[in-house]
């Protein structure tokens, strides 16, 4: 079965980049840098470090453009590089996510899920408060929450990216979401 080819409106720019056209590289950079910077900031949570990650990701993308086969859009391919660079950057900062599998819970202990139900509809979430809340989350919660909510990864993919189990990803997400809701509510 032939891999599906996606229509990419920037295919001409990509081809020019493959031929070493610096102006085409700059055009692609201008087209994608803002959205990819947002990805970096959500994952890394530091503007200066996010700028560095972004530059490294674009450098890698342009150096490895010959591996781009058009099986997805250029933007999707670039986003994968950006996310991987950001995650690797966090690993260098020694991000700790604890795998909770194997840590037994007694019958009297509470379930990992939310103990207190939140009426999410009644919580007035203003964008600035949410942004500030996400920035204040512990790194593990913030990264999983960002990858799941903003980048569209499922828990299995997040587990693979972060080298944690799928259940740990789900738990980090649920705890992060609960903590974020508490912070927004207060």
How many residues in total does the chain contain? 186
How large is the average pLDDT for residues 16-38? 94
Closest CA to 90 of 130, 132, 134, 141: 141
Give residues with Cβ within 8 angstroms of 49, minimum separation 6. 89
pLDDT in tens, 117-159: 554 444 445 667 888 888 899 999 999 999 998 888 899 989 8
Closest CA to 84 of 40, 148, 140, 145: 40
Position 126 scores a pLDDT of 66
Confidence of residue 70 (pLDDT cuts 50, 70, 90): confident
Q: Cβ distance 40 to 54 under 8 Å?
A: yes
Position 106 scores a pLDDT of 44
DSSP letter at 109 equals: S
pLDDT in tens, 83-127: 999 999 988 876 555 555 554 444 444 444 545 555 444 444 566
pLDDT in tens, 161-171: 888 999 999 99
Position 7 scores a pLDDT of 57
Q: Cβ distance 54 to 82 under 8 Å?
A: yes
Q: Cβ distance 53 to 10 under 8 Å?
A: no
Q: What burial class does residue 138 get, using C-beta atoms within 10 Å of its C-beta: 0-12 exposed, 13-18 middle, 19+ buried? A: middle
Answering whether pTM is above 0.85, one says no
CA distance 170 to 155: 6
């Amino acid at each position: 079965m032939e891999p599906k080819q996606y229509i990419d409106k920037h295919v001409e720019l990509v081809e020019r980049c493959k031929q070493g056209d610096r102006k085409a590289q700059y055009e692609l950079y201008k087209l994608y840098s803002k959205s990819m910077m947002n990805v970096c900031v959500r994952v890394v949570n530091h503007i200066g470090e996010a700028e560095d990650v972004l530059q490294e990701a674009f450098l890698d993308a342009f150096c490895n453009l010959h591996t781009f086969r058009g099986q997805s859009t250029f933007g999707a391919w670039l986003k994968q590089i950006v996310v991987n660079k950001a995650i690797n950057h966090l690993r260098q900062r020694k991000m700790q996510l604890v795998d909770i599998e194997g840590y037994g819970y007694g019958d009297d202990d509470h379930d990992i899920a939310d103990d207190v139900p939140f009426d999410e509809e009644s919580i007035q979430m203003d964008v600035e408060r949410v942004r500030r809340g996400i920035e204040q989350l512990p790194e593990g919660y913030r990264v999983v929450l960002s990858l799941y909510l903003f980048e569209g990864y499922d828990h299995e993919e997040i587990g693979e990216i972060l080298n944690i189990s799928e259940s740990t990803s789900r738990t980090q997400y649920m705890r992060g979401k609960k903590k974020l809701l508490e912070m927004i509510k207060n």
